[in-house]
Amino acid sequence: MNLYDRLITPSDRPCFLLPDGAEITYAELADGAGRLASLLIARGVVPGDRVAVQTDKTPQAVMLYLATLKAGAIFLPLNTAYTAAEVEYFLTDAEPRLFVQDATALAAEAQAHPPLETTVPRADDDLASIIYTSGTTGRSKGAMLT
């Protein structure tokens, strides 16, 4: 069993408490991530591809992060405060297969897809995420995380 499957064990325990008092359980998190992973694959994302995400901090954004890992892709978070020029630099530098700016809309679309049951296998030294540095000493650089 890989780390993703060990950490995201479906259960009825809540993992998100929303401002309106609603809850999202680990089972719902796993289901949403599985459906998003299926959608990513349907959109042509293959293991090792980068998925750039510039979206608000929502439960669906967390599901998208987990879905990207489940699909074997590389998660590339981009701050919503970045300027258009900064985003253009990151997208040109990282060359993502997909750029998502609305995780909630993507999660709604993913409901039409069956959940991906198994996590795409990856090696310990495969990239999981690229996080760009603040660029205090020059251009931002992509820090690669395995």
Instruction: Label residue 53 by pLDDT band (50, 70, 90).
Output: very high
pLDDT, mean of residues 3-29: 78
What pLDDT was estimated at residue 32? 96
The residue ranking higher by pLDDT, 112 or 22, is: 112
Q: What is the pLDDT of residue 134?
A: 83
Looking at per-residue pLDDT, the higher value among 84 and 14 belongs to 84
Could you give the CA distance from residue 94 to residue 83 in angstroms, rounded to a whole number? 16
Q: What pLDDT does 7 receive? A: 66
Sketch out the chain's domains with CATH numbers.
3-145 (3.40.50.980)
Q: What is the pLDDT of residues 79-112, one digit of tens each?
A: 999 999 999 999 999 999 999 999 999 999 999 9
pLDDT class of 37 with cuts at 50, 70, 90? very high
The DSSP letter of residue 142 is E
Q: Which residue matches tokens 């479906």?
A: 10
| Cα–Cα distance for residue pair 116/34, rounded to 1 Å | 5
Strands (E), the chain: 14-17, 23-25, 50-53, 74-77, 98-100, 129-132, 142-145
